[in-house]
Amino acid sequence: MNKKVNNVVEALNGVQDGMTLMLGGFGLCGIPENAISQLVKLQVSDLTCISNNAGIDDFGLGLLLKGKQIKKMIASYVGENNEFEKQMLSGELQVDLIPQGTLAELCRAAQSGFPAIYTPAGYGTEVAKGKETREFEGKMYVLEHAFKADFGFIKAWKGDTSGNLIFKGTARNFNPNMCGAAKITVVEVEELVQVGELDPNQIHIPGIFVQRIFQGTDYEKRIEQRTTIPKN
Amino acid sequence: MLDKTGIAKRIAKEVKDGYYVNLGIGIPTLVANFVREDIEVEFQSENGVLGMGPFPFEGEEDADIINAGKQTITTLDGASFFDSALSFSMIRGKHVDLTILGAMEVSQNGDIANWKIPGKMVKGMGGAMDLVASAENIIVAMMHTNKAGESKLLKKCSLPLTGVNCVKKIVTNLALLEITENGFKLLERAKGVSIDEIKAATEGNLIVEGDIPEMNI
């Protein structure tokens, strides 16, 4: 089934002010760079963004923060971003911090048709405030509701025109969990191939979870912490 | 008194053959350097890798292969990559044997605070709340007192909690302690540190029974 669109402009057709977006990535690793650039160009605003992190000042979701396009951020860790801090402290930006495993599972719940999940994470902390809790076999759990999003922006390594996807290294992170978790899943890939070229045994996410796929361009793939040992 | 490396060396002795281990950012990361070479251990990083290796050689770093601290890393033979949900299935499902993480405060009943200082920047909890809520075996690596000289081993945490009743052991620059029903049980002293010094630096209830040996690291 053909899911291919010609470019990022077609891929983001329909994105509007006030929408809720899911964006894959951990730090700057595996983020949908092309979709983010296009969101900046479209100047859509009042967005709610669900993503593990909020980028850095001049890259990733930091670019949307700079343009004050984000109204609310749902994330697990938002350090490394001065603009974020400024907007949060001034009250311009609403922030909902939730545990990383819960964030992943609430994407997966949306993908899988579960309305909510019970997780032990955050029980007894301010994260559980106002939420239903329940005991199972002597341990306490918090009820967390599946995400609802309009668009999911995913970055994969390889994909075919049917939307079958393969991820690389730790750039996989939240990307597979967000596929099919929003009304429309948009995937950008480093290498888009024809159907039949990928081995079905190697597919991480089947195309059924994908509505649009396009060949990405100009990936920067910035490294946040370049840690190496000297060659000698 | 131990430095950060000393704390990491002592914790490394708690890592046993066959363990899958999650290491937090900071002192815990150093633990990997001191694990005995004759045992098999795999390190998990919650962003989606099991079988983490050392940092890459200069010029060989790959932006697609990082750890939870966003540092470039390598993988060892037998490593695997996976998505975030599966990563936390390993943690929540108790498949990870040992979690080592830092803390700002620990209370005598095993509560831990390590993610937020009200009024200052809130960076978020990342995976810490999932880790402490599920891990059976949690060791905290931290300094015994904060920069102001105040105890970090308390009757009750003053900062927002990351998890409740979860910490099992603590290794500080002064001592190795175990959380028991009645408080912090002193198991070992750092070299040259007296019991009185540890008492003075511990606000929570400290249990001292019999001779307390010096750490052997």
* pLDDT tens for each residue of B142-166: 999 999 999 999 999 999 999 999 9
Residues in chain A with CB shorter than 8 Å from the CB of B72 are: 223, 225-228
| Predicted pLDDT of residue A72 | 98
Beta bridge partners of B113: B105
Distance CA A85, CA A80 (A): 9
| Predicted pLDDT of residue A30 | 98
CA distances to B69, B99, B128, B163 from B132, in Å: 18, 8, 6, 6
Distance CA A98, CA B125 (A): 7
Distance CA A10, CA B200 (A): 66
- Whether the CB of B120 is below 8 Å from some CB of chain A: the reply is no
Residues in chain B with CB shorter than 8 Å from the CB of A125 are: 129, 160-164
Amino acid identity of residue B100, one-letter, is I
Q: What confidence category does residue A86 fall into, taking pLDDT thresholds of 50, 70 and 90?
A: confident
| B161, B165, B171, B173: CA torsion to nearest 10 | 40
Distance CA B166, CA B132 (A): 6
Reply yes or no on whether the pLDDT at A96 is more than 90: yes
> Span A12-40, mean pLDDT?
98
Measure CA B29 to chain center. Answer: 9
Catalytic residue among B14, B46, B105, B188: B46
Q: Do B125 and A176 touch (CB under 8 A)?
A: no
The three-class DSSP label of residue B68 is: coil
> Span B44-62, mean pLDDT?
96
**Nearest residue in chain B measured CA to CA from A31:** B64
Among B45, B130, B165, whose Cβ lies nearest the Cβ of A102? B130
Tell me the three-class secondary structure of chain A, residue by residue. CCCECCCHHHHCCCCCCCCEEEECCECCECCCHHHHHHHHHHCCCCEEEECCCCCECCECCHHHHHCCCEEEEEECCCCCCHHHHHHHHCCCCEEEECCHHHHHHHHHHHHHCCCEEEECCCCCCHHHCCCCEEEECCEEEEEEECCCEEEEEEEEEEEECCCCEECCHHHCCCHHHHCCCEEEEEEEEEEEECCCCCCHHHCCECHHHCCEEEECCCCCCCCCECCCECCC
φ and ψ at residue A50, rounded to 5 degrees = -105, 110
Structure tokens at B106: 């620990």
| Predicted pLDDT of residue B121 | 66
Residues in chain A with CB shorter than 8 Å from the CB of B133 are: 99, 119-123
| Predicted pLDDT of residue A41 | 98
Q: How far is B163 from chain A (nearest CA, A)?
A: 6
Q: What confidence category does residue A82 fall into, taking pLDDT thresholds of 50, 70 and 90?
A: confident
Among candidates B176, B146, B159, which has minimal Cα distance to B114?
Answer: B159
Distance CA A31, CA B183 (A): 45
Across chain A, what does the average pLDDT equal?
Answer: 97
| Predicted pLDDT of residue B131 | 97
Q: Do A104 and B121 touch (CB under 8 A)?
A: no
**Interface probe with B: pick from A97, A125, A135, A177, most Cβ of B within 10 Å:** A125
> Which of residues 97 through 116 in chain B touch A, CB cutoff 8 A?
111
Beta bridge partners of A141: A134
| Predicted pLDDT of residue B122 | 79
Among A27, A85, A100, whose Cβ lies nearest the Cβ of B130? A100
Distance CA B212, CA A152 (A): 57
Query: Known catalytic residue: B46?
Result: yes
Distance CA B184, CA B206 (A): 5
**Beta carbon pairs, A and B, within 8 Å:** 182
| DSSP label at residue B136 | S
